[in-house]
Structure 1
Amino acid sequence: MEGQSADLLSSLLPLVALFAIFYFLIIRPQQKQAKKHKEMIAALKKGDKIVTNGGLMVEITKVEDDFLVVKNHDNSEMKLAKEFVAKLLD
């Protein structure tokens, strides 16, 4: 019986190691990046300049619960869902 449990343990060890490597190289960094992006979206305020997922560079004129009212370079305003904010410009 002891030989079988040792065989089982030695056959599962590479799978556990592979999962640990996968977690630390892929899953954990993605979770950190998603948390940082969520915090950035929560901190947006009027006057901030942002880039949308579509590549538009706009300025926030009003912050609502789920949407942002943004102004384009030609002063036209449009409504943008918060989840489409790619990054904040300095």
Structure 2
Amino acid sequence: MHLISSAYAQSLGGGSTMASLTQFAPLVLIFGVFYFILIRPQQQKQKALKASVAAMKRGDRVITAGGILGTVQKLREGTNEVEVEIAPNVRVIVLKETISSIVKPVAANDSKPVAVVPPSKVS
């Protein structure tokens, strides 16, 4: 009398390595897709933000994580604090880590050109 089924006996050690590899291939593929679509671009974005915050100077317009828009008035040396003016004569001190973006001003000649509509033809 056989107490162990043949399928169970094969799974105990009679299976091939290739079969177990094909089981993990979809998981590796899914992780690879997630890495290149989600994780890597986010890391690059954080790296660019960190570089722009490190290069921040007086007069730059910034947006904090709380959504406050202000102008950098003073960078405090030796600390991670920045003095930001959020309204005329209203200054707050924020941490560099809370700055979510630096707003680049648009120069007058860099703005979008206005589309010129040609006059209709008179026949």
Q: Deviation at 1:2?
A: 8.7
1:66 paired to 2:90: no
Within 2, Cα distance between the matches of 1:11 and 1:29?
28
| Cross-structure match for 2:101 | 87
Within 2, Cα distance between the matches of 1:52 and 1:46?
16
Could you tell me the TM-score, scaled by structure 1's length? 0.89
Structure 1: give runs of 5+ residues left out of the alignment.
none
Aligned sequence identity (%): 32
Within 2, Cα distance between the matches of 1:82 and 1:10?
47
Within 2, Cα distance between the matches of 1:8 and 1:37?
42
Structure 2: give runs of 5+ residues left out of the alignment.
1-12, 106-123
1:47 paired to 2:59: yes
SS of structure 1 residue aligned to 2:87: coil
Bigger Rg, which one: 2
| Structure with a larger share of its residues in helix | 1
1:3-82 matched pairs, under 5 angstroms: 4-64=16-76, 65-82=79-96
- How many residues are paired up? 90
Q: CA RMSD in A?
A: 1.6
Instruction: Pick 1 or 2: higher relative contact order, CA cutoff 8 A, min separation 6.
Output: 1
Within 2, Cα distance between the matches of 1:56 and 1:7?
56
